[in-house]
Amino acid sequence: MSSPRRELNSESIRKDFPILGRTIHGKPLIYLDNAATSQKPYPVIEQIASYYGRSNANVHRSIHTLGEEATALYEEARDTVCRFIHAPSREGVIFTRGTTEAINLVAFSWGRAHLHPGDEILLSVLEHHSNLLPWQLLAEEKRAKLVFLDIDEEGRLPLDRLDRLLTDRTRLVAVTGASNVMGTIIPLRRIVERAHAAGAVVMVDGAQRVPHLAVDVQEIGCDFLAFSGHKMLGPTGVGVLYGKPELLEQMPPFLVGGEMVREVWPDRATWNALPGKFEAGTPSMAGAIGLGAAVTYLDRLGMEAVRAHGEGLVREAWAALSKLDGVTLCGPPPSEERVPLISFHCRGIHPHDLAAALDEDGIAVRAGRHCADPLMRRLGVPGTVRASFYLYNTRDDVQAFVQSVQRAIDLLS
């Protein structure tokens, strides 16, 4: 007999987020910019404050009590993240400054060692600049070729086209786990299987996927996964690169300096074991510890409940927005193929003007090109307004948001 589906009590959850008590322009804050960065609950804030107030010291280097406490907290956070993404071993979990640094690490270290003239890197037109620009620079340096998988009219990636684009020159497939504009959830397992069959390595940008869906890197089968702490209730300045240890072992270091070495002579050095080999210098101890607290918070709620809550909000918002005159919605219709965000544009109204009008009602959304210029050109729009929901958003937030959009259209049209 299956256990009953857990549901989130977003009204109760909201009490954990002090910033949600703010007013903006005299109105209660409604925060719908979660795809850019999420808010932080008391357990995360308190864990970071506790570290600085009780155990602040550098990790891995001190034989005193504070150093040992800091090291234990830091490495416990790694174990927490390892379990959260179901990594087979903690050696493959590397702390970075975020998704961007993690992808650059792979491009610099794996890419430089494995790409040659004429090789191909397969991307999609959905990619955020962070999963495009590193490969552009690498392709230019190595005289490799970038190949792009287009979307269908609803923003999905047609896998029959993928089969035609994969060749014996494809060395890497770099793809988002979920689009930060269209909301599309990418069928990663099927992409990984086809890429591996072609002999390619797979890099996944998980920045928009990991905060909302249960992720199992072993089930997905990807070779690398990058994500950021600040989009999943954690602090800024910390993220994760998961890599298969057998690949990481072969890769040269990305940054060099303290801690990532085993022994150093005047003319040579030997590198530290994983994961330390890729964590040069003093890491963001507080950041990693805060991320561990964020993951613990999400685990307590249950990622299936987090996903279901987001799906409910995006369905309601989609249904209401689709009734407004002049509004064009982007991406596939609400289903289990979407993360909880909606991008849209309004006839005759610049996205920045619409977002400013919403801000007057205390509603925070994102407006612009969302670091996805190629996709905006593909859609033929100068930008979109994006409302992105998370576990502390409510149906009342959705209703207030849609009403504010209608008022803005009436004002600006």
CA dihedral over 107, 110, 116, 118, signed as positive or negative: negative
Residues found in the chain: 413
Give the pair of three-digit tokens for residue 215: 């992720």
Question: Do residues 226 and 240 lie in contact, with contact meaning Cβ atoms separated by under 8 Å?
Answer: yes
Rounded distance, CA 367 to CA 351, Å? Answer: 5
Q: Could you give the angle at the alpha carbon of 315 between the alpha carbons of 314 and 320, nearest 5°? A: 95
CA dihedral sign of residues 328, 385, 383, 182: negative
Structure tokens at 295: 């993951």
Cα angle 28, 30, 36; round to 5: 145
Exposed/middle/buried for residue 63 (C-beta within 10 Å: 0-12, 13-18, 19+): exposed
Strand partners, 162: none
CB 235, CB 48: distance < 8 Å: yes
Amino acid of residue 126: L
* Cα–chain center distance at 106: 16
- The tally of CA atoms less than 13 A away on the side-chain side of residue 347 is 6
Residue 82 appears among annotated catalytic residues = no
Q: Out of 82, 330, 346, 371, which one is annotated catalytic?
A: 371
Instruction: Provide the 10 A C-beta neighbour count for residue 352.
Output: 13
Task: Decide if 94 contacts 238 (C-beta within 8 A).
Answer: no
Positions annotated as catalytic residues are 371
